[in-house]
């Protein structure tokens, strides 16, 4: 017997969509796709929950389409796919939205508004657009069970997570360690990649960078150098300099030892910098000019390359700590990492000669690359700012208490 199909005189997709959705609803197609497979091997699907404190967008349609494709495919393979929906009711975007509505900041909670009132406002805001989400879910034909969703602020969900964490702990699968992540002093929390991509997260600003001179210890390849040598390191985060524990160079990058004069003090000085970046700090007119006749009034500062080294040759070279304080002393660092071996040059594959000096100031507490190279070379770690971004006690004149 041949099947009978409806004919369409014109392609009216919205009309076709409504007819299909109506038929699915009438026949309970989604519900039956689950019930008739009772006892079959399950394919477990818990939707990575969206947050209904904002309107859904086209990116949600795309991601849900991909989820739906997988679940439908596994259903066609004979698995029972219950597809439990959920709502994400935690997170910084919810809090910031409520605080903006109320005209408050984190510091006002417990003062201008009670914790209970604040939590209630968050509960109200977090599912504010649930009806619009449900409507989109139906219209796009996304099969997911929203009759009994998991909601992250409900005690059943929270207690389930605590139960699972306990099981992990009992099996010895939890451990305490350090991770480097973006942090907001204003919000008092770490920031996820999703939160970092929220509208308005970034703005263009002019910031201070610094080229800093670290005094090398004349050993290794510098053991026959009679004069002082300074390693030129560039940083866009000068506030992390008290936490410096290493300098990172590129193993295959060439570095020049340059005899010149300090442009600020006009004192004779030997400095180390990546050869490829000489032009950014030294004018070509001054190359190999007479150093003996230099006067501080001269507009062109003379300079001369004494010798060159590869980054690999500089590895292990030690230098004097730039800003020694009680809180970042060797004893303080080793109180955290007992076998730490800081204040030396290490090699890292993230060093480039695109900008800066080719020598990277390295503070393992403040940057993923810094932390990784610090761990590899046992530099240790020291955090000299608190959760508000203020210097802790023991950092001399920079300490917040002063």
Q: From the centroid of its chain, how far is CA 159?
A: 29
Residues 304 and 387 grouped into a single domain: yes
Task: Mark whether 180 and 257 lie in a shared domain.
Answer: no
Does residue 242 share a domain with residue 140?
no
On the question of pLDDT at 269 being above 80, the answer is yes
Lowest mean pLDDT among 10-24, 111-125, 180-194: 180-194
| One-character DSSP codes across 191-251 | --HHHHTSTTS--------EEEEEEBPS-GGGTT--S-EEEEEEES-GGGGGG--EEEE-T
**In the listed set 128, 162, 196, which residue is the last one of a domain according to the structure?**
196
pLDDT-wise least confident of 1-10, 261-270, 284-293, 377-386? 1-10
Asked if residue 294 and residue 220 are part of one domain, the reply reads yes
Query: How much is the pLDDT for 42?
Result: 97
pTM of the complete model: 0.76
Query: CA 221, CA 219: separation in Å to the nearest integer?
Result: 6
pLDDT band at residue 178 under the 50/70/90 scheme: confident
In this prediction, residue 104 has a pLDDT band, given cuts at 50, 70 and 90, of very high
- Do residues 147 and 282 both lie within one domain? no
Residue 401 has pLDDT above 70, yes or no: no
CA 366/CA 240 separation, integer angstroms? 7
DSSP letters spanning 150-201: EETTSHHHHHHHHHHHHHHHHTT----------EETTTTEE--HHHHTSTTS
Q: Is residue 162 part of a domain?
A: yes
Among 147, 148, 144, which residue's Cα sits nearest to residue 71? 144
Q: Are residues 248 and 169 in the same domain?
A: no
Dig out the tokens for 177 from the structure. 């360690």
Question: Across residues 8-14, what is the average pLDDT?
Answer: 80
**Average confidence (pLDDT) over 208-237:** 93
**Any idea which residue has 């303080």 for tokens?**
332
Whether 10 maps to a domain, the answer reads no
Span 383-397, average pLDDT: 91
Distance from C-alpha of 261 to C-alpha of 265, rounded to nearest angstrom: 8
Beta bridge partners of 258: 271, 305
Q: Please indicate, yes or no, if residue 205 is contained in any of the structural domains.
A: no
In the predicted model, what is the mean pLDDT of residues 20-46? 95
Give residue 9's pLDDT.
74
Do 390 and 246 fall into the same domain? yes
Q: Are residues 175 and 232 in the same domain?
A: no
Domain boundary among 145, 173, 196: 196
* CATH number of the domain bearing residue 245: 3.90.740.10
The whole-number average pLDDT for the span 357-383 is 95
187: left (phi over 0), alpha (psi -120 to 50) or beta: alpha
Bridge partner list, 310: 254
Q: Domain check: are 282 and 157 in the same one?
A: no
Q: What pLDDT was estimated at residue 170? A: 97
Domain residues for the domain of 122 are: 20-196
Does residue 3 form part of some domain? no
**Does one domain contain both 178 and 325?**
no
Residue 312: pLDDT over 80: yes
Count of structural domains, the chain: 2
Mean pLDDT of 36-44: 96
Residue 1 lies in a domain: no
Is the pLDDT score of 192 beyond 70? yes
Alpha helices in 46-191 (DSSP H): 58-76, 92-102, 115-126, 130-139, 155-170
Torsion region of 252: left, alpha or beta (phi above 0 gives left; psi -120 to 50 gives alpha): alpha
Residue 318: pLDDT band (50, 70, 90) is very high
Task: Judge if 135 and 36 occupy the same domain.
Answer: yes
Q: How much is the mean pLDDT over the chain? A: 91
Q: Is residue 13 situated within a structural domain?
A: no
- 6 in any annotated domain: no
Q: Is it the case that residue 89 has pLDDT exceeding 70?
A: yes
Same domain, 231 and 349: yes
What is the chain's alpha carbon radius of gyration, rounded to the nearest angstrom? 31
Classify residue 34: in a domain, yes or no: yes
CATH value at residue 94:
3.40.50.620
């Amino acid at each position: 017997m041949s099947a009978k199909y409806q004919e369409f005189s014109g392609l009216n997709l919205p009309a076709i969509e409504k007819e299909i959705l109506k038929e699915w609803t009438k026949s309970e197609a989604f519900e039956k796709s689950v019930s008739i497979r009772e006892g079959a091997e399950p394919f477990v699907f818990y939707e990575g929950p969206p947050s209904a404190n904002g309107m859904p967008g086209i990116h949600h349609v795309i991601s849900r389409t991909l989820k739906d494709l997988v679940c439908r495919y596994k259903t066609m393979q004979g698995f029972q796919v219950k597809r439990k929906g959920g709502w994400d009711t935690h997170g910084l975007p919810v809090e910031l939205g409520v605080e903006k509505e109320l005209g408050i900041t984190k510091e006002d909670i417990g003062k201008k508004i009670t914790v209970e009132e604040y939590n209630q406002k968050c509960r109200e805001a977090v599912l504010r657009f649930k009806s619009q989400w449900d409507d989109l879910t139906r219209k796009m034909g996304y099969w997911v069970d929203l009759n009994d969703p998991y909601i992250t602020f409900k005690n059943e969900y929270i207690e389930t997570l605590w139960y699972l964490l306990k099981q992990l702990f009992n099996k010895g699968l939890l451990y305490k360690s350090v991770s480097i992540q973006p942090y907001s002093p204003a919000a008092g929390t770490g920031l996820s990649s999703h939160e970092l991509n929220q509208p308005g997260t970034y703005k263009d600003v002019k910031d201070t960078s610094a080229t800093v001179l670290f005094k090398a210890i004349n050993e290794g390849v510098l053991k026959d150098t009679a004069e002082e040598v300074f390693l030129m390191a560039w940083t866009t985060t000068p506030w992390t300099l008290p936490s410096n524990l290493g300098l990172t160079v590129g193993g295959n990058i060439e570095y020049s030892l340059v005899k010149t004069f300090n442009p600020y003090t006009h004192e004779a000085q030997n400095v180390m910098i990546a050869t490829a970046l000489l032009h950014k700090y030294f004018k070509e007119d001054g190359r190999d000019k007479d150093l003996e006749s230099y006067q501080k009034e001269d507009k062109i500062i003379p300079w001369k390359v004494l010798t060159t080294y590869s980054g690999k040759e500089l590895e292990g070279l030690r230098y004097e700590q730039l800003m020694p304080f009680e809180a970042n002393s060797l004893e303080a660092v080793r109180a955290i990492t007992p076998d730490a071996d800081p204040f030396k040059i290490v090699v890292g594959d993230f060093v480039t000669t695109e900008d800066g000096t080719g020598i990277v100031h390295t503070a393992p507490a403040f940057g993923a690359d810094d932390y990784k190279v610090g761990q590899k070379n046992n530099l240790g770690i020291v955090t000299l700012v608190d959760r508000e971004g203020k210097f802790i006690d023991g950092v001399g004149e920079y300490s917040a208490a002063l």
